[in-house]
């Protein structure tokens, strides 16, 4: 782990892998630290300190925090009902070298974890623990991907929270909104959460 300054109140923690990020993020959440926010990404965690926090002292405390097994601390899985009817389902299955039924089975049985959020409010990048996922993005991104679209790209799956451009492979759609400002909390998918997709007829 490398610790770099980020502005006047933040520290950026750099890692060599997403697994390291998840383990350290889970550990930091269990600590009583003078921080306002922890923001994980693919290879980093941004630590936003309280106003007046001594960053050198905070950096020393962060260095002393040992990572933990992230899945052991993720709580009860969030269940998202879905239908596997995406227009790219067959293409994604071909890219993975399996049938559509096999892709659906793997996706349903996968142990998904929200690694980090980004792109749009409520968009979680979910990584799996059981199966190998390596699905190239579309060569030509769509200008409009419908809200609730369930998709694959690289090692991740995700649900589009609203209509937006996108280049992920669409394999289905969620039956619930993953981001709703009228709900508390607004986002269903938050970093560190475990997620299971439940097929609905």
Q: Tens digits of per-residue pLDDT, 118-167?
A: 888 899 999 998 999 999 999 999 999 999 999 999 999 999 999 999 99
Distance CA 110, CA 24 (A): 22
Q: Three-state SS for 100?
A: helix
The whole-number pLDDT of residue 118 equals 87
Task: Give me the count of residues in the chain.
Answer: 201
SS3 56: helix
Q: Which residues of the chain have pLDDT under 50?
A: 72-73
Q: Give every strand in the sheet of 44-49, ordered side by side.
A: 2-6, 10-14, 44-49, 35-40
The whole-number pLDDT of residue 73 equals 45
């Amino acid at each position: 782990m490398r610790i770099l300054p980020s502005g006047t109140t933040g520290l950026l923690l750099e890692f060599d892998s997403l697994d390291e990020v998840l383990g350290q993020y889970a550990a930091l959440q269990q600590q009583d630290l003078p921080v306002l926010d922890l923001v994980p990404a693919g290879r980093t965690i941004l630590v936003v300190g309280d106003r007046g926090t001594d960053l050198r002292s905070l950096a020393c405390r962060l260095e002393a925090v040992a990572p933990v097994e992230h899945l052991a601390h993720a709580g009860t899985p969030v269940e998202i009902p879905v239908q596997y009817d995406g227009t790219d389902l067959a293409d994604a299955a071909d890219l993975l070298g399996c049938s559509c039924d096999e892709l659906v089975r793997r996706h349903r049985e996968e142990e998904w974890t929200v690694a980090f959020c980004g792109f749009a409010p409520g968009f979680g990048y979910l990584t799996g623990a059981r199966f190998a996922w390596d699905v190239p993005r579309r060569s030509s991104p769509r200008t409009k991907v419908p809200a609730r679209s369930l998709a694959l790209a690289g090692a991740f799956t995700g649900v589009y929270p609203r209509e937006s451009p996108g280049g992920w492979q669409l394999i289905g759609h969620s039956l619930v909104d993953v981001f709703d400002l009228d709900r508390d909390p607004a986002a269903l998918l938050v970093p560190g959460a475990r997620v299971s997709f439940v097929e609905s007829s």
